[in-house]
Amino acid sequence: GQQVMQIPQYQHVQEGEDFTTYCNSSTTLSNIQWYKQRPGGHPVFLIQLVKSGEVKKQKRLTFQFGEAKKNSSLHITATQTTDVGTYFCVTVGANDYKLSFGAGTTVTVRA
C-alpha cells in the first residue's frame, strides 16, 4: 500500500533563513495537500496540488508537486517566528484512492 515519508522530522531554523520540507510517496498520487498546525492548535489547510510539476506560491511559501506525482516539497524563504509549527502533507493515492498523512515536519525558529 501507499507509504508517505516526510523529511525532516524536525527543522531548527535561524530567523531569516530558508528551509524545505519534503513529502515522498512510494506510489503515484492523485493529489497532495499541505496543512500547518501551530503549537496547541489544529491543522489548517494551506494548499492543494493536483497537476504533475505544479508549482504554487503563497507569499514566502512555495509548494511543488513532482513530475512523477510521487513527491512534493514546501519551501519557506526568510523564515519568521510566525512560521513555527508542524507542516504535514496529506496524500491521496492515484490507484487505491486512500488518504495518507505524513508524520509532519516540526519547525522551530531561532530569533
Interface positions with other proteins (CB under 8 A) = 30-31, 33, 41-45, 48, 88, 90, 92, 97-99, 101-104
The torsion of the CA quartet 60, 70, 4, 65, rounded to 10 degrees, works out to 10
Contact 72, 23 (CB under 8 A): yes
Provide the minimum distance between the beta carbon of 111 and other proteins in the complex, in angstroms, as a whole number. Answer: 26
Contact 89, 32 (CB under 8 A): yes
**Cβ neighbours of residue 106 under 8 Å, at least 6 residues apart?**
9, 10, 11, 85, 86
Provide the minimum distance between the beta carbon of 45 and other proteins in the complex, in angstroms, as a whole number. Answer: 5
Pick the closer one to other proteins by CB: 40 or 111.
40
Pick the closer one to other proteins by CB: 37 or 77.
37
Provide the minimum distance between the beta carbon of 78 and other proteins in the complex, in angstroms, as a whole number. Answer: 27
Pick the closer one to other proteins by CB: 49 or 76.
49
